[in-house]
Amino acid sequence: MGKPKAPKAPDPKETAAAQTGTNVTTALANAQLGNVNQYGPDGSVVYSTTGSKSFTDPTSGATYNIPQYNQTTTLSQQQQAIKDQSDAASLNLGTIANQQSNFLKDYLAKPVSLDTQATEARTMDLANQRLAPLIAQRDEDLRTRLANQGIKAGSDAYSREQNTFNQGTNDAYNQLILQGHGQAVQDILTERNQPLNEISALMSGSQVSTPQFGAGTNQPSLPNVDYAGMVDQNYQNQLGAYNTQMQQSNGIIGGLFGLGGKLIGLSDERAKKEIEPVGEMAGHKLYSFKYKKGKGDGKRHVGVMAQDVEKKRPDAVSERKDGLKQVNYGKLFAAGVK
């Protein structure tokens, strides 16, 4: 069993370049899928290639040719006639708006006068004509009612009733004046804004619109391949396998050097039983085995056979007093595990 070799980490620059290439390829494929020519009763939309532009990836230096497309919309004869008439009407509206707007420079330079004295005076004239007789009648009714109630003129109760009546009269006149003022201001502003509103309406009617027709097409798209993620996942998988092999290797080494804390261990084939080959290390075969009764602890161990080692490294093999062979593992693997 040789020492596992750690996987090489992916090169970020190469991975980024490959991911860019994948992204560009996917984008080009999606453009081909998405540029679907459309034909309907109102016209057609057709895509055509007009050339290409080159793009150089600054990471890898790779150059990609990106196709350039034209989209051509062609209306049917009837729809084209409607559009021509609409365009002519829009042009007329735009022309009128342009001509009408010539006077705005002087027009807007004039301040807006909100003087409503004339309107307020007219309002008071109307109030005197309509309200004065009504107020006089109510005043007479009030005096009669107070006299019938025995409230004499000059008394406090009489004065309070008169004050309340007069306040109501003043409030009625003030409300009329305020309403007249507000209506007058509104009329002034309406007259001021009317030319602006007319020009704005003309301008909105002359806006250019893109003709729409037909139902949307079913345009599939390809998802980008996560190449960088795949490379990283593959590296992680290899790293996981490497770590597993290292654990196994360390387990075997632990078994080799776990012979009671001794670097020199009994390795004679004659002292072992249930021998099974498990691999190789540094050119020497490894076996799983148990020691025979009286020769060990009865547990399974991993190690070499002295008879095998003696053929390649006799200097690492010695003989015990009982005639069994033992191996100096420190000397055998002194050059390191490979």
- Is pLDDT of 68 > 70? yes
- Hey, is 103 helix, strand or coil? helix
Region of 282 please: left (phi>0), alpha (psi -120 to 50) or beta: left
Share of the chain above pLDDT 90, in %: 11
Look up residue 177 and give its amino acid.
I
CB-count burial class (<10 Å; 0-12, 13-18, 19+) for 58: exposed
Most confident listed range (62-71, 195-204, 259-268)? 62-71
Give the residue, 105 or 56, on which the prediction is more confident. Answer: 56
DSSP-derived secondary structure letter, 299: S
Residue-level pLDDT at 97: 77
CB-count burial class (<10 Å; 0-12, 13-18, 19+) for 217: exposed
Interval 12-29: pLDDT, tens: 878 888 888 888 888 888
- Is pLDDT of 248 > 70? no
Residue-level pLDDT at 337: 42
Interval 138-179: pLDDT, tens: 888 888 888 888 888 888 888 888 899 888 888 877 887 777
The secondary structure of 183-248 as a DSSP string is: HHHHHHHHHHHHHHHHHHHHHHHT-------SPPP----PPPP-HHHHHHHHHHHHHHHHHHHHHH
Residue-level pLDDT at 254: 57
Residue-level pLDDT at 305: 92
Arithmetic mean of pLDDT over the chain: 80
Share of the chain above pLDDT 70, in %: 85
From the list 69, 67, 62, the residue with the least C-alpha distance to 52 is 67
277 pLDDT tier (thresholds 50, 70, 90): very high
Distance of CA 160 to the CA centre of its chain: 75
From the list 125, 131, 123, 127, the residue with the least C-alpha distance to 180 is 123
Give the residue, 245 or 141, on which the prediction is more confident. Answer: 141
Interval 264-276: pLDDT, tens: 888 899 999 999 9
pLDDT average, residue stretch 279-287: 86
pLDDT-wise least confident of 51-55, 216-220, 301-305: 216-220
Residue with tokens 């034209």, as numbered in its chain: 70
Residue-level pLDDT at 259: 47
The secondary structure of 133-156 as a DSSP string is: HHHHHHHHHHHHHHHHTTPPTTSH
Residues whose CB falls within 8 Å of the CB of residue 272, separated by 6 or more in sequence, listed in order? 287, 289, 290, 291, 292, 295, 305
Residue-level pLDDT at 274: 92
Residues whose CB falls within 8 Å of the CB of residue 131, separated by 6 or more in sequence, listed in order? 172, 173, 176
Most confident listed range (51-60, 96-105, 322-331)? 322-331
Alpha helices by DSSP H, 281-335: 306-312, 329-332
Residue-level pLDDT at 10: 83
Most confident listed range (53-57, 190-194, 281-285, 324-328)? 324-328
